[in-house]
């Protein structure tokens, strides 16, 4: 857009555990799309361009990726696409109000190949429950990874809270890839695993109990073609940078 039509797309998070105020951030009531670990914003900006009727929020911990995402949206005048610096897991577990989001997207969470770091894995039982809790009835959880062990764990556990459907082949809206990580992984010949999952209508106590009975994601991520740790991976909220941009 012409420079005089650029918009600010950064929003702050309040004090730790303070609920996120969607209405204050976007100034309207609309369907809400949340990207946990949005990286450089490739998917979220593309979705916002296609769906001006939806509010889009990306949470990212890596400063350079967040700055690029915010710039991309701002230069396109996307006032309905905003980005916040923070830990995506902490956001969904502690800050996202119950039944406040229509879609939660999680693309290529860091699998952590070092056994001493498996407790850092973003998608775990408490995160799955938090995503279920944050979604509205009938809400959508979108998951993607190129790590077969992470896929196997998620495909085993997510159906306890979601109506789980594997997505065959690339997404129709992004045949080349929704994220930079997907594009790079496909160029390396890695298989991409994708799923669309609809929130099951359970009472909160049942959903929490199901999550409590899930195994922790302590799987061995070192599968052929997936180790040692890939330093070319697109930065995500699983990275441990704590420097505020």
Lowest mean pLDDT, pick from 22-36, 66-80, 129-143, 219-233: 219-233
**In the Cβ-directed half-sphere of 166, how many Cα atoms lie within 13 Å?**
10
Residue of 169, 133, 166, 131 lying closest to 152 (CA atoms): 166
Question: Cα-atom radius of gyration of the chain, to the nearest Å?
Answer: 17
Q: What is the CATH number of domain 32-212?
A: 3.40.50.150
Give residue 175's pLDDT.
96
pLDDT at residue 115 in the model: 86
In which band, very low, low, confident or very high, does the pLDDT at 17 lie, cut at 50, 70 and 90? Answer: confident
The confidence score (pLDDT) of residue 241 equals 39
Please report, rounded to a whole number, the percentage of residues in the chain having pLDDT higher than 70. 91
Q: In the predicted model, is pLDDT for residue 125 greater than 70?
A: yes
pLDDT in tens, 145-195: 999 999 999 999 999 999 999 999 999 999 999 999 999 999 999 999 999
Q: Are 32 and 101 in contact (CB under 8 A)?
A: yes
Q: What is the pLDDT of residues 213-241, one digit of tens each?
A: 999 999 999 865 444 444 334 444 444 33
Read off the pLDDT of each residue in 120-125 and give the average, rounded to a whole number.
Answer: 94
Domain boundaries, the chain: 32-212
Rounded to whole angstroms, the Cα distance separating 66 from 61 reads: 7
Three-state SS sequence of the chain: CCHHHCCCCECCCCCCCCCCCHHHHHCCCCCEEEEECCCCCHHHHHHHHHCCCCEEEEEECCHHHHHHHHHHHHHCCCCCEEEEECCHHHHHHHHCCCCCEEEEEEECCCCCCCHHHHHHCCCCHHHHHHHHHHEEEEEEEEEEECCHHHHHHHHHHHHHCEEEEECCCCCCCCCCCCCHHHHHHHHCCCCCEEEEEEECCCCHHHHHHHHHCCCCCCCCCCCCCCCCCCCCCCCCCCCCCCCCC
- Is the pLDDT confidence value at 244 over 80? no
């Amino acid at each position: 857009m012409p420079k005089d039509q650029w918009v600010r797309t950064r929003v702050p998070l309040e004090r730790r555990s303070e609920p996120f105020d969607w209405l204050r951030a976007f100034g309207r009531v609309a369907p809400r799309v949340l990207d946990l670990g949005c990286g450089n914003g490739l998917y979220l900006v593309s979705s916002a361009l296609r769906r001006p009727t939806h509010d889009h929020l990306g949470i990212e911990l890596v400063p350079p990726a967040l700055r690029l995402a915010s710039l991309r949206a701002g230069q396109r005048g996307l006032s309905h696409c905003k980005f916040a610096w923070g830990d995506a897991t902490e956001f969904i577990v502690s800050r996202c109000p119950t039944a406040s989001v229509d879609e939660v997207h999680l693309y290529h969470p860091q699998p952590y190949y070092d056994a001493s770091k498996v407790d850092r894995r973003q998608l775990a039982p408490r995160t799955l429950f938090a995503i279920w809790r944050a979604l509205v009835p009938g809400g959508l959880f979108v998951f993607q990874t190129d790590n077969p062990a992470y896929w196997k764990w998620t495909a085993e556990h997510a159906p306890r809270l979601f109506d789980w459907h594997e997505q065959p082949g690339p997404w129709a809206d992004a045949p080349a890839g929704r994220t930079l990580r997907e594009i790079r992984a496909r160029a390396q010949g890695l298989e991409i695993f994708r799923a669309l999952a609809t929130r099951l209508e359970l009472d909160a106590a049942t959903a929490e109990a199901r999550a409590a009975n899930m195994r922790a994601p302590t799987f061995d991520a070192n599968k052929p073609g997936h180790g040692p740790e890939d330093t070319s991976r697109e930065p995500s909220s699983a990275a441990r940078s704590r420097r505020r941009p």
